[in-house]
Amino acid sequence: MTVYRVAIDRDRCMGDAICTALCSNWYMDRDGKASYRQETISDSEYESNHEAEISCPAGIIEVRKA
Ligand code: SF4
Whole-angstrom Cα distance, residue 12 to residue 4? 22
Q: Which residues of the chain have a pLDDT value below 70? A: none
Pocket perturbation via mutation, ligand 1, pick of 12, 13, 27, 37 by most ligand atoms within 8 A of CB: 13
Whole-angstrom Cα distance, residue 66 to residue 5? 5
Alpha carbon of 47 to those of 11, 14, 32, 41, 43: distances in Å?
A: 25, 23, 25, 10, 8
**Domain enclosing residue 52, as ranges:** 3-65
Look at the chain and report how many structural domains it folds into.
1
- Residue pair 10/33 in contact by the 8 Å Cβ criterion: yes
CATH number at residue 43: 3.30.70.20
Pocket perturbation via mutation, ligand 1, pick of 14, 30, 48, 49 by most ligand atoms within 8 A of CB: 14
The pLDDT, as a whole number, for residue 37 is: 98
The pLDDT, as a whole number, for residue 26 is: 98
The pLDDT, as a whole number, for residue 59 is: 98
Task: Measure 52 CA to ligand 1 centroid, in angstroms.
Answer: 8
Task: Measure 1 CA to ligand 1 centroid, in angstroms.
Answer: 28
- Residue pair 27/35 in contact by the 8 Å Cβ criterion: yes
pTM of the model: 0.96
